[in-house]
Amino acid sequence: MNEADFIAALRGLPLHPGARELTDDCAVLAIGGETLVLTHDTMAEGTHFRSDADLADVAWKLVASNLSDLAAKGAVPIGVLLGHTLGHEDVRFLHGLREALEVFEAPLLGGDTIAVQGVRSFGLTAIGRATHVPVPARSGAQAGDTIWITGPVGRAMLGFIGAEEHRAAFDRPIPRLAEGQALSPHVSAMMDVSDGLLLDSWRMARASRVTFAIDTHAVPVADPAQRDACMRWGDDYELLFTTPRGTHLPVAAHRIGTVAPRTVAPLIVGDMAYPDPETLGFQHG
């Protein structure tokens, strides 16, 4: 099964209402007077990081990628649970983990440690507190809305292939926590860009049952000569969001398109329509 098929099968299991039908990056739970936001990500050797990667960077990115999901919900981190696979350079992993937890004020709550033969993987569950309700979802975009992104895409790609000035964008991304908290009262839909701007735009449009019309040349990219690759690559962790027309934004952002009623496809980029997501970005399986 590929990733999409497996998630579709999971929807046949008993789901908590807070799971949002597994169409979002986070679960949302109202408990007493608070609303909690929960997410979980896994990073595997050979898929998410090279075997020779500095495990301090791997630990940082594991934390940052989870907190980026919280950022897209306007949540403040409460803490994290770690799933750790023992192996070489565990001390380096702990060093990077400490750095990330201190910088993002997301203390460790607990977790599990195992030893395995073969490929190592690391998992993290992040728990946050929503700062605004209703908590933004992928599914709220409406026809007539404006589409925005908080910053350029493609920096992580350039860092991965060796551009020193963009190395940190790949190794140590910064989740847009403050921006997400500021935006959450104003957006109709929001998510972070982790698997590529085009694929994540397709997913948001599909969840919202609308069409996203993206103006290719309005998209901020790290390298205009590689514009298409920048829009497809991923690992950028910028916030992609929609707002009703005329909304005053509390943060700097780039307008990249408009939301239209659903037509032949969830995504239109320039004059190209994309009815399916197969070529748009990174997908497992």
- Please give the CATH number for the structural domain made up of 138-274: 3.90.650.10
Query: Look-up: residue for tokens 């937890």?
Result: 101
Question: From start to end of 63-174, where are the E strands?
Answer: 75-85, 108-114, 121-130, 146-149
| Rg of the chain in Å (alpha carbons) | 18
Round to whole Å and give the CA distance between 174 and 81. Answer: 19
Residue 285 is predicted with a pLDDT of 47
- Rounded to two decimals, what is the model's pTM? 0.94
Q: Could you give the residue range(s) of every CATH 3.30.1330.10 domain in the chain?
A: 3-130
Residues of the chain with CATH 3.90.650.10: 138-274
The upper half-sphere exposure of residue 123, i.e. CA atoms within 13 Å in the direction of its Cβ, equals 10
In tens, the pLDDT along 107-124 reads 999 999 999 888 899 999
Would you say the C-alpha torsion 85, 91, 96, 102 has a positive or negative sign? positive
Say if residues 199 and 266 touch (Cβ distance below 8 Å). no
Q: Which CATH class is domain 3-130?
A: alpha beta
pLDDT in tens, the chain (285 residues): 887 889 889 898 999 998 888 888 899 999 999 999 999 999 999 888 888 899 999 999 999 999 999 999 999 999 999 999 999 999 999 999 999 999 999 999 999 999 988 889 999 999 999 999 999 999 999 999 999 999 999 999 999 999 999 999 999 999 999 999 999 999 999 999 999 999 999 999 999 999 999 999 999 999 999 999 999 999 999 999 999 999 999 999 999 999 999 988 999 999 999 998 887 866 544
Q: What is the dihedral of CA 11, 13, 14, 16, to 10 degrees?
A: -40
